[in-house]
Amino acid sequence: MTFSVSYVERDDGGARLRLAGELDLSSAPELSAAIDGLTAAGETRVLLDLTDLTFCDSTGMAVFVRGDNQAAAAGGWLRLTGAHGRVERVLRVTGLAEVLRYEPESVDPASRSAS
């Protein structure tokens, strides 16, 4: 399945990107570019909606961490929501669910404190 990243909305919680398809070595640069673009535009709070993401390898996970580091350096954060199946399992097994404060869709991660 082809990877896509789309800007969904901007509200007082920050920018929201929806990811779809397979995030891997070949598609990770597209997500990196989207996060870089938001950072360059002054966004410091980024929520990645993983509802439609069907696969994510270590390269994709590294982009999540890099994005969080970029946002934190600017006083913000990167959060994840909506993961399911294999993607959610990998987030939990690797510990990134805790590091990136992953929450299921039923909880708005943008509302959680940045500490």
- Model confidence over 55-86: pLDDT tens digits? 999 999 999 999 999 999 999 999 999 999 99
Query: Where is average pLDDT lowest: 6-10, 41-45, 47-51?
Result: 6-10
User: Count of CB atoms within 10 A of residue 26's CB?
Assistant: 10
66, 99 contact by CB (below 8 A): no
pLDDT at 28: 97
Report, at the CATH architecture level, how domain 4-106 is classified: 2-Layer Sandwich (3.30)
**Percent with pLDDT over 70 in the chain:** 88
- Model confidence over 15-34: pLDDT tens digits? 999 999 999 999 999 999 99
Higher pLDDT, 107 or 50: 50
pLDDT at 114: 46
Domain ranges of the chain: 4-106
User: Count of CB atoms within 10 A of residue 114's CB?
Assistant: 13
